[in-house]
Amino acid sequence: MELRKKTGDLGEALARDYLVKNRYEIIEKNFRLGHLEIDIIARDNNRKELVFVEVKTRDSKFLDGVEEALNSNQIKKIKRAMVVYSQEFEIDLEKMRLDFIFVKIDKISKKAQLQHLIDILS
């Protein structure tokens, strides 16, 4: 389990670095709302939107891709978190979106591939 957490933490760090390089401002990381957690909350300075980012990291030995990494139950939980967050901080849901970053790490070559899906609820 410890290795899995380290892999997940590495993936989230790579995702944050990627977002910063692409003009996103990191607002929160691993933000908890009761039993709900949001991996990254960022502001997209290009589109002027608040972005909730779900990050999934996989070791290259696992063959699953984006489709298998995020299921409908997880999306429902994140949508609930977005609603609660919008109410808590009085932010219009229309100014928020959900992005998904899939990180695949090849431990042999020590390289990572990131796939960023923007506004997956549209």
CATH assignment at residue 21: 3.40.1350.10
Q: What is the pLDDT of residue 107?
A: 79
pLDDT of residue 53: 97
pLDDT digit string, tens, across residues 80-94: 999 999 999 999 988
Long-range contacts of 14-21 (CB under 8 A, 24+ apart): 14/57, 14/103, 14/112, 14/114, 15/39, 15/40, 15/53, 15/55, 15/101, 15/103, 15/114, 16/40, 18/101, 18/114, 18/116, 19/53, 19/101
Q: How many domains does the chain have?
A: 1
Residue 122 covered by a domain:
no
Residue range(s) defining the domain that contains residue 13 = 2-117
* Tens-place pLDDT, residues 16-74: 999 999 999 999 999 988 888 899 999 998 888 999 999 998 876 555 556 566 788 88
Q: Would 29 be classed as within a structural domain?
A: yes
Residue 8: inside a domain: yes
Asked whether residue 56 is domain-assigned, the answer is yes
**Is residue 57 domain-resident?**
yes
Q: Report the 10 Å Cβ neighbour count for 104.
A: 21
4 pLDDT higher than 90: no
Q: What is the pLDDT of residues 91-114, one digit of tens each?
A: 998 889 999 999 998 878 878 999
